[in-house]
Structure 1
């Protein structure tokens, strides 16, 4: 099989929306050839360059008849793998990703154990990494971090049935049990809310 096809199958195997850099490929493929193949895949519109050194396997909307914007959380985690950072989504960004904020955000903020950096994406969106203590970095799944940070930012008194339902609608039901196990050491009121979000995995 041609290396071009092998690289594309590896990328597409991660599913639509996956963001990555050449660092994600160098364990499997020859570094000297990767950049050329990524360039060719981009020209052939099989992948998309979303920022310098960062690509994604874009999702396409049949309804809108166009490629969707990059998955911000996927892009942030591609940067984290590239620079070997640990990251944690900020509260306001978690609210935006989970569709709990009415504000359209042009800048998405992540906390990091790396240096302060900011990156512009091709669609004028921006990801900023701020060096900060990471309090909830122990979560295994990105969904866990998103939910916990969003709930903490909203505050216990603002967790309504509507909020619970909105978050539930953003989470793949196959993740419910994993999230419940992943977040069981969270603050009691946060975990009680998470149990409401993940209460039905028999859809």
Structure 2
């Protein structure tokens, strides 16, 4: 007996890893309107979770606390994967992530080489700020995020405590990659990084 479209969609979702974030675009060839109806029914049945408009989760469940929801960073990376763009936390976001800011951020903010947009995830918002490649020149990984954070504080405002903490996060990174990224940074940041590498050598 041939499976219904709903069964086919449900079967594909079951093949996704638990905790996987997926989108309607993950079902090529399926009529969009029909797919949205099917996904809505699966949400209603508790088979999947709707995180936001067109953003779904194949839930991973803990026997004690129930559904394990992904963090905003996981959701942002999934959206970047869907849109085939690069992202990295904004300088302010990185500062908050490492505990240098006492302010609780209203939004989770990323710099992207894609378009600017805001995505609602429940009561939270993920903000993507399109900056072409200018703000991504240091890379999209940890090194780039740290340099962007230092740059956002500025040479006149950054304290020794902030500088030392942010620079210490580079210690686990390959030195050649750190130096390569530092060369692209403003001279004052490059000098900070090179001095730190010298002190920790």
Supply the distance in 2 between the matched residues of 1:54 and 1:184 (Cα, whole angstroms).
36
* RMSD, matched Cα: 4.6
Query: Which of 175, 181, 184 is matched with 1:183 structurally?
Result: 181
Contact 2:21 2:56 in 1 (8 A): yes
Cα deviation 1:72-112 (Å, max 9, x = unaligned):
33322322232233445332223223332211111233344
Instruction: Report the equivalent of 1:6.
Output: 15
Match of 1:76, SS state, is helix
Supply the distance in 2 between the matched residues of 1:87 and 1:96 (Cα, whole angstroms).
17
Instruction: Assess, with a 3 A threshold, how the Cα gap between structure 1 residues 3 and 133 changes in structure 2: closer, same or farther.
Output: closer
Instruction: Assess, with a 3 A threshold, how the Cα gap between structure 1 residues 194 and 146 changes in structure 2: closer, same or farther.
Output: farther
Cα deviation 1:143-200 (Å, max 9, x = unaligned):
123211111111234142455336756x894xx1175266243324434348849x87
Supply the distance in 2 between the matched residues of 1:127 and 1:31 (Cα, whole angstroms).
29
Contact 2:139 2:181 in 1 (8 A): no
Supply the distance in 2 between the matched residues of 1:70 and 1:172 (Cα, whole angstroms).
28
Match of 2:183, SS state, is coil
Supply the distance in 1 between the matched residues of 2:151 and 2:114 (Cα, whole angstroms).
23
Supply the distance in 1 between the matched residues of 2:146 and 2:58 (Cα, whole angstroms).
25
Match of 1:110, SS state, is strand
Instruction: Tell me the TM-score normalized by structure 2.
Output: 0.59
Contact 1:89 1:145 in 2 (8 A): no
Pair 1:156 & 2:159 matched: no
Supply the distance in 2 between the matched residues of 1:114 and 1:140 (Cα, whole angstroms).
15
Contact 2:111 2:136 in 1 (8 A): no
Work out which of the two has the higher radius of gyration on C-alpha atoms and give 1 or 2.
2
Supply the distance in 1 between the matched residues of 2:80 and 2:50 (Cα, whole angstroms).
17
The number of residue pairs the alignment matches comes to: 180
Gapped runs of 5+ residues in structure 1? none
Instruction: Report the equivalent of 1:128.
Output: 127
Gapped runs of 5+ residues in structure 2? 1-10
Supply the distance in 2 between the matched residues of 1:185 and 1:19 (Cα, whole angstroms).
36
